[in-house]
Structure 1
């Protein structure tokens, strides 16, 4: 009995120990659980309350209204226009295909549109709207509204799109906006908004940040799957700044229309004192609105494969041999190197250097020529002689001072620098030594020498304003930010030209247009007080062989268009009180005096007729008369 009792007592003790261990473990687990609950619900309560609120409240950005671009008189050049878009919500449509078929009877939907819509629907939640079509007409919007019963899930929304009232006339200046690409992302969340557009070219690109504005935001309450339940608050964005240009839209339109008759041409009209570009045109052009709505592959191919390069702004990036318009630069260099304007050179119609003969454009020669007459009649031999005395380095140095061989800093994308060749340049880039004959032909603006129409206008402006290195610009003012024109005038350094240099060249340019032997006399301005001065230029694009010269040079009009000379002209007006300058380049146009000069004449007449400066201030050349 005692043994059985002892075993029973041992079992009870063992059970008690196990019960205590199990109970202790349970108490320990409950303590840990309680501590964790206390930590989460008391200590971390604020953090989890904020996380829950963030999941419930969603912040959504709204695109700001893009700033306008206007001309100097406030004429709108780029504006925002209401853009009606149609969206489809899949969960509200009974059958997506049937809804799209019904919608296609109202608005055009091709197979590419349908494929894109279905691709976007498959990648989004069923309650998220997908864009079907944009830029709807009011008639299309009305028809969709009338047929809304047959179009379940179809929603029309009003947005904004960029509109360019003057289309091709301003395409190369104003530019266009386009969709944001991967390369455009900078971390700014507004750039990731669906359908957001940024500046891709022209002023739209240069001043994109100022035009873009600041995004607004909307707080909405969403459920667990992201569906919007209600709007809580809304903060409107700040619209972009208005950008005012130096352009006179009436003059710009006139310049563009005047060039339309040429296959490929460009022109620049500038205020020589302020550097304000009043008109800048390049033809052929393109429609910037096509980029805003999105180009088709066929449209893009036709633009980039067009041999006349409509996408290129030839006024700032077309590079041409300047021809005889470069002779003013050589004249300035000659006078700076103590060769007086009265010094004469005899022109028999050619000059021999070694075993090569360099011809003047006038086969029989001009006879005795001083600087005045050499510019007036565009004598090549006179400038051959000047180049022999000066050397290439002296000519290149003056060319750079007058704006050649470098970008002149206009506030437009795509400007090219042209080329002012030197001995070192040729050796480094071509691997050959400079030849004496190359100095001769550079003196008449041929050979390796290249210039843009903008540089030709800048050169003329620096002459007209008495030697100030004015910088051309098309931005006049950015609303609430800065006045660009005033800033440019204050920053224009002096080039160190002597009054005799400037006066001698301008008097000769006056004679080019207003005396009978001048090469642009037939294109002169007849209106008293409005006369222009200028210089013609004809830039060869082919070499004339000795046999052709002996048998008679083929006239430009008898050659294929691509083999004809370029026609150039630079001018200023009015002669007695110079203020405005222009340059004109007509690709393969033939003679500068017969083709480019009449265009420049018309542009300078229209510029003076419009006279955007009102009463013109005294000319900076007044001091040169003393």
Structure 2
């Protein structure tokens, strides 16, 4: 049998080439198919992000009660499956807001009225509601416009408050339609710690008492301040009228200027300044028994100054002159004092100097006559009973009163205690240094005069019924007149309580309010009675 012939070598080469070509084509086909599969997955899934604001920086009162924030809030990030929606439906704070999401397959954020149990389709986050539209302590806290802080503590501490904001970022893996892919990981990244902010000296309950009391005044323009006598802490600082923070443009058009913080604005002072004149005389060595006979008027270099009691008060010592608020007595007293004594005593009690509460939040300096100006006897006479060029703010009057009550130690009023990172612990801010402004015996004598004003005069409308207090009123002339020719006067009352162990100074100012005893004194009394009743 014939042997078979071997295929030629070139046939093997051809077969090999064909095999390699086929393998290459298969590899390309497989790679292409795999690429199409990867591309398809890329189309089918993606990331869906939700940013959840939880809390801004909080402004607290002295007891860590939030002033610009409400109750703790419960926020839910919802994957809208039927079971999840059913589980939270009765807990929704605003069902109308959620309605737009019911037909959606994408996750959304909503507020709940109560706690809910979280799961893979329901992420529960905790924060605090913010009260940007609050009217409470608004002249101190400030306001925002288009999210930007414009005034008050909001502006002074904007950087710190912003750094205290708490939020969360939630990321889902979703399909092209926005549906959360079952079994895919959901990440929650939290930023910041809720609770950080600024701690003030304000006491929420006392601030509310002051604001409520001011609502009764007519005309509705003025201020009420409550100071801690010992420390200078501002427990309350209210100004009226207030504005609607949700309608700032309308507030700017109002003729009653609601943006002005009247507690920090300077006005003519009137008879409450007699406390300073009495202090200057006592500091200069004059006795509280200094006697003067009031005949109803006094002349100073040809200029006549009248007493409000036209036929005069007769013979008075310093205490009775304070009780009667006799202008001629204090004019005569000032004529015995040097311009330097008058000026320096007033300056040591804070007149003519602004009080800085925070950056951009400060009282006006007012106006204190210089020693040179007080060389003019008529100017010194006017100053002795709080008239002439003299101007002061309600906060300055409160600080002066607190100094007298605190045995002559002056504590500059302050508003900020410090900062907190958690709403519980305080990083205390350095406080103003206290200094002696009056001798202790001077302060004690003037204090007794203030008590006699309330307890030994028949027309003391500022006398509280549930505790003992001391005080002094003013009816300060402004030099401005109504159409009927009557002069506009500011109403003042400043004082302290309780008498035996003084804790608070209260100062009330009513712009164009007329008589201090008729307008400011009832507000003064109401504030003291409410604080006493509340045991604050």
Of 313, 321, 324, which aligns to 2:268? 321
The equivalent of 2:161 in structure 1 is 211
The equivalent of 2:213 in structure 1 is 258
Question: For 1:231 and 1:137, how far apart are their aligned partners in 2?
Answer: 28
Of 501, 512, 525, which aligns to 2:464? 525
Residues 226-375 of structure 1: pairs in structure 2 closer than 5 A = 235-239=189-193, 241-262=196-217, 263-288=220-245, 290=246, 295=247, 299-300=248-249, 302-316=250-264, 318-375=265-322
The equivalent of 1:174 in structure 2 is 141
Give 1 or 2: higher strand fraction.
2
Of 453, 475, 479, which aligns to 2:416? 475
Whether the 8 Å CA contact 1:219–1:231 is kept in 2: the answer is: no
Q: Does 1:68 align with 2:7?
A: no
Question: For 2:169 and 2:109, how far apart are their aligned partners in 1?
Answer: 17
Question: For 1:237 and 1:219, how far apart are their aligned partners in 2?
Answer: 11
Whether the 8 Å CA contact 2:170–2:188 is kept in 1: the answer is: yes
Change (3 A) 1:359 1:531: same
Question: For 1:171 and 1:604, how far apart are their aligned partners in 2?
Answer: 22
The equivalent of 1:568 in structure 2 is 492
Question: For 1:64 and 1:602, how far apart are their aligned partners in 2?
Answer: 39
SS at the partner of 2:507?
A: strand
- Deviation readout 1:362-421 (Å, 9 max, x if unpaired): 211111122111111111011111222224332121111111111233347142111112
Give the aligned length.
Answer: 443
Change (3 A) 1:214 1:75: closer
Question: How far is 1:166 from its partner?
Answer: 8.3
The equivalent of 1:493 in structure 2 is 434
Change (3 A) 1:418 1:507: same
Change (3 A) 1:214 1:64: farther
Of 431, 435, 443, which aligns to 1:502? 443
Question: For 2:190 and 2:376, how far apart are their aligned partners in 1?
Answer: 68
Question: How far is 1:531 from its partner?
Answer: 0.8
Higher mean alpha-carbon deviation, 206-215 vs 332-341, is at: 206-215
Question: How far is 1:213 from its partner?
Answer: 1.9
Q: What 5-or-longer segments of structure 2 have no aligned partner?
A: 1-49, 76-91, 112-126, 172-183
Residues 147-162 of structure 1: pairs in structure 2 closer than 5 A = none
Of 601, 605, 615, which aligns to 2:525? 601
- Deviation readout 1:335-384 (Å, 9 max, x if unpaired): 12222211112211111123321111221111112211111111101111
Whether the 8 Å CA contact 1:272–1:464 is kept in 2: the answer is: yes
Question: How far is 1:243 from its partner?
Answer: 2.8
Whether the 8 Å CA contact 1:63–1:237 is kept in 2: the answer is: no
> Normalised by the size of structure 1, how large is the TM-score?
0.63
Of 90, 99, 102, which aligns to 1:143? 99
Give 1 or 2: higher helix fraction.
1
Task: Give the alignment's Cα RMSD to 1 decimal.
Answer: 3.8
Of 501, 504, 523, which aligns to 1:577? 501
The equivalent of 1:586 in structure 2 is 510
SS at the partner of 1:236?
A: strand
> Normalised by the size of structure 2, how large is the TM-score?
0.73
Q: Does 1:536 align with 2:473?
A: yes
Change (3 A) 1:375 1:212: same
